[in-house]
Amino acid sequence: MIRATRRALLGAVPVLAVPMISRAQAAFPNRPVTVIVPNPPGGGTDFAARLFQEGLQAALGQPVVIENRPGANGNIAINAVVRAQPDGHTLLLQYNGYHAGNPAMMRDLTWDPIRDLSLVGMATMAPHVILVAPNVPANTLAEFIAHARANPGKLNYASSGNGSIQHIGGVLFARAIGAEMVHVPYRGAAPALQDVAGGRVEMFITTPSSAVALVQAGRVKALAIASARRAAGLPEVPTTAEAGLPGFTLDAWFAFAVPAATPRPVQDRLNAALRDVALQPVVRQRAEQAGAVTDAMTLAQLDALSRKEVAELGAVIRSAGITLE
C-alpha cells in the first residue's frame, strides 16, 4: 500500500509541475520593466530607448522605466544587465559599437556578447553618411576616391573616438578603396564635425542626423549614404552602391537585449511586443525624423545579426590593432 501510494505521488509530480511552470511564465511581466541605457540622456542610444518606452508599456501592461548608466564604454550598464535576474524585467538598450567592438578591443572583458546576452528586439538602425570638407577637390564619391588614391597617407579621417563605429568605418573605407588614410580621433561627433567643416580634416563618416544642418548650409559635402537605402534626412544623396562603391555599408544599430538565460517564452513575448511597437506609424515617423529607421526583426534574425557583427567587426578591429586599453 505504501509503495503504491509513493508511485502514485511520484507519477503525479510531472503533471503538477507543468502547470506551475506555465503559470510562472504566463505571469511575465508582473512588475515594472527597467531598460538600462549605457549612455547619458540625449544621445542615439537614449533616444532609441525612449522612442519605444510608451509603446512597450502599453504592450506589456506594466510601467517601463529608463535608467541611464553611462561609463566604461558601455560596460557598466552591460554588466548590470548580464548579472540581473534573467526574468525579462531588466533589459539593456545595446549599441553595436559596444556589442561587437568591446570584445575585440578590450582584454579581460567580464561579459561575452553571444554567451551572456540575447537580443530580443531591434529599436533603431541608423545609416552613416560619408562627409568631406568643403575645401576637398571632390564633389562625388568617385572623385574623392580618386583623390585619396592619388594622395595615399596624406588625407585624414575623423571619428568620435578611438574604437568607435566611425573609426571602424574609416578603416573599412580605406581598405575598400585601397588607399591609406590617417585616423584623427575626437571626443564626440560635434568637435569632429567642426574640424571637417573648417577644412582641418578631410573626411568623416557619421550618422546623418548630426550633419544635416551643415550639409544644407554647404559647410560640408555629403558624398554618399553607406547603407542599402537613402536617408530620409538627405534624400538627394546617393547610396554607396549608387555612387560606385557597392558593398560598402555601415549601419549603427540599437537593440534591446536580456540576459541569455532568460526563458524563451519571455524572450518571445518581448520580441512580439517590440516588433509591434517598431511597426507603429508614429514610432517610425519619429525615428525617420532623427535620421534612423525601425526594423521589426525576429529572434532568429537578431541572433544572426549579433553573430555576424561580432565576427566581422571584431576581425576588422583586431587586424587594425584597435584597442581601448
What are the C-alpha distances in Å from 318 to residues 103, 107, 162, 209?
10, 12, 13, 29
Instruction: Report the pLDDT value the prediction gives residue 232, as an integer from 0 to 100.
Output: 83
228 alpha carbon, distance to own chain's centre:
16
In this structure, the answer to whether residues 221 and 133 fall within a common structural domain is yes
Q: Is residue 87 helix, strand or coil? A: coil
In this structure, the answer to whether residues 135 and 184 fall within a common structural domain is yes
In this structure, the answer to whether residues 38 and 178 fall within a common structural domain is no
Residue 234 falls inside a structural domain: no
Instruction: Report the pLDDT value the prediction gives residue 325, as an integer from 0 to 100.
Output: 61
In this structure, the answer to whether residues 101 and 144 fall within a common structural domain is no
In this structure, the answer to whether residues 78 and 43 fall within a common structural domain is yes
Residue 304 falls inside a structural domain: yes
Instruction: Report the pLDDT value the prediction gives residue 10, as an integer from 0 to 100.
Output: 42
DSSP H/E element including 30: none
Give the residue numbers spanning the domain of 97: 31-126+252-320
Q: Work out how many domains the chain is built from and give that number.
A: 2
CB atoms within 10 A of CB 290: 19
Q: Which of 7-16, 207-216, 267-276 has the lowest mean pLDDT?
A: 7-16
Instruction: Report the pLDDT value the prediction gives residue 26, as an integer from 0 to 100.
Output: 53
| Packed helices 281-289 and 44-60: angle between N→C axes, nearest 10 degrees | 170
In this structure, the answer to whether residues 116 and 151 fall within a common structural domain is no
CATH number, domain of 111, equals 3.40.190.150
pLDDT higher than 80, residue 136: yes
Domain boundary among 225, 244, 261: 225
In this structure, the answer to whether residues 120 and 175 fall within a common structural domain is no
Beta strands 129-132 and 203-206 are antiparallel
Q: Which of 190-199, 203-212, 217-226, 280-289 has the lowest mean pLDDT?
A: 203-212
Q: Residues 215-221: what's their mean pLDDT?
A: 95
Domain boundary among 207, 225, 243: 225
pLDDT higher than 70, residue 11: no
Residue 241 falls inside a structural domain: no
What are the C-alpha distances in Å from 251 to residues 38, 85, 236, 324?
19, 31, 19, 22
What does the pLDDT look like over 139-170, one tens digit per residue?
999 999 999 999 999 999 999 888 888 999 99
In this structure, the answer to whether residues 219 and 262 fall within a common structural domain is no
d(CA 263, CA 299): 13
DSSP H/E element including 57: helix 44-60
Select from 183, 196, 207 the least CA-distant residue to 44: 207
Q: Residues 1-16: what's their mean pLDDT?
A: 42
Domain boundary among 210, 225, 240: 225
Question: Which long-range contacts (C-beta less than 8 Å, at least 24 apart) are formed by 303-308?
Answer: 303/118, 303/119, 305/119, 305/253, 306/99, 306/113, 306/114, 306/117, 306/119, 307/114
Q: Residues 51-64: what's their mean pLDDT?
A: 97
Q: What are phi and psi of 86, to 5 degrees?
A: -80, 65
pLDDT higher than 90, residue 86: yes
Query: Cβ(133)–Cβ(317) under 8 Å?
Result: no
Residue 273 falls inside a structural domain: yes
pLDDT higher than 50, residue 275: yes
In this structure, the answer to whether residues 144 and 215 fall within a common structural domain is yes
In this structure, the answer to whether residues 76 and 142 fall within a common structural domain is no
Residue 48, all three cell numbers: 532609441
At residue 30 the predicted structure's pLDDT band, cuts being 50, 70 and 90, is: very high
In this structure, the answer to whether residues 116 and 147 fall within a common structural domain is no
Q: Residues 177-196: what's their mean pLDDT?
A: 92
In this structure, the answer to whether residues 108 and 143 fall within a common structural domain is no
- Residue 72: what residue type? A
Residue 265, all three cell numbers: 517564452
CB atoms within 10 A of CB 71: 11
| Packed helices 264-278 and 44-60: angle between N→C axes, nearest 10 degrees | 110
pLDDT higher than 80, residue 12: no
What does the pLDDT look like over 238-274, one tens digit per residue?
999 999 999 999 989 999 999 999 999 999 999 999 9
CATH number, domain of 204, equals 3.40.190.10
Residue 277 falls inside a structural domain: yes
d(CA 203, CA 223): 10
